[in-house]
Homo-oligomer: A and B are copies of this chain.
């Protein structure tokens, strides 16, 4: 089950949250002020943090700022303030949701479920490897059989658009739009020319593409 860190200095509310969350099947860790909150967050590896902005020692946004650089899970902010500026500030400081007090406990649980449903995103790999080649998306470098291959800017833009979604079909309109711009949506001929160049540079057998595949009438697909 998921682990929730509750940061609140009001004993009554804190206790109510703990009981409700336990009943809903969560593990609960408590913190009554900002400093222990940061400590507990690092120690207990919670999946989600419920953070009350009204804390005795630190401002809630400071806790948020201390949390966000390294904590990747969702943070739900509780506050007695209903002013929009507070909400906007908290959300832009890294909060994923903002609930004003007093709140309905059932709604809070539903918002927790919605946040946790989104799951934990894994770190995406910036370099794509296949049997024959490696494509480094951040270094903008491609090697085929160990040798570095030079790509022109247009070739690279096209390739990276395909490689960013491995296995996914990308429509020709989307490719044209993101490589050449919205005005070139109909110039499908560009695609044919540059796909041919990419295949000549990357494919083991350019006549029968293994990685850069055509889906006639729809678009292209990179399959690792």
| Size category of the binding interface on chain A | 35 or more
Within 8 A of B (CB), among A93-131: 95-98, 104, 106-107, 109-111, 113-114, 118-119, 121-124
Q: Is the CB of B119 within 8 A of A140?
A: no
27 of the cross-chain contacts (CB-CB < 8 Å) are A84-B107, A87-B104, A87-B110, A91-B107, A91-B110, A91-B111, A91-B113, A91-B114, A92-B113, A95-B114, A96-B118, A98-B111, A118-B118, A118-B119, A118-B122, A121-B121, A121-B124, A123-B165, A139-B167, A139-B168, A139-B221, A141-B169, A141-B221, A152-B217, A153-B217, A153-B218, A156-B218
- For the complex formed by this chain, how many copies does it contain in all? 2
Chain B: CB-nearest residue to A105: B84
- Once A96-B118, A119-B122 are accepted as A-B contacts, the answer to whether A216 and B152 lie under 8 Å apart by CB is yes
A140 in contact with B91 given A74-B118, A97-B114, A121-B121 (CB within 8 Å): no
The answer to whether the Cβ of A88 comes within 8 Å of any Cβ in the partner chain is: yes
Q: Does A215 contact B (CB under 8 A)?
A: yes
Query: Complex Cα distance A156/B174, Å?
Result: 18
Interface centre among A98, A114, A218 (most CB of B within 10 A): A114
Determine the distance from Cα of A74 to Cα of B97 in the docked complex, in whole angstroms.
13
Contact bitstring A48-84, B, C-beta under 8 A = 1, else 0? 0000000000000000000000000010000000001
Task: Give the residue of B110, B167, B174 whose beta carbon is less than 8 angstroms from that of A88.
Answer: B110
Q: How far is the CA of A112 from the CA of B40 in the complex (A)?
A: 29
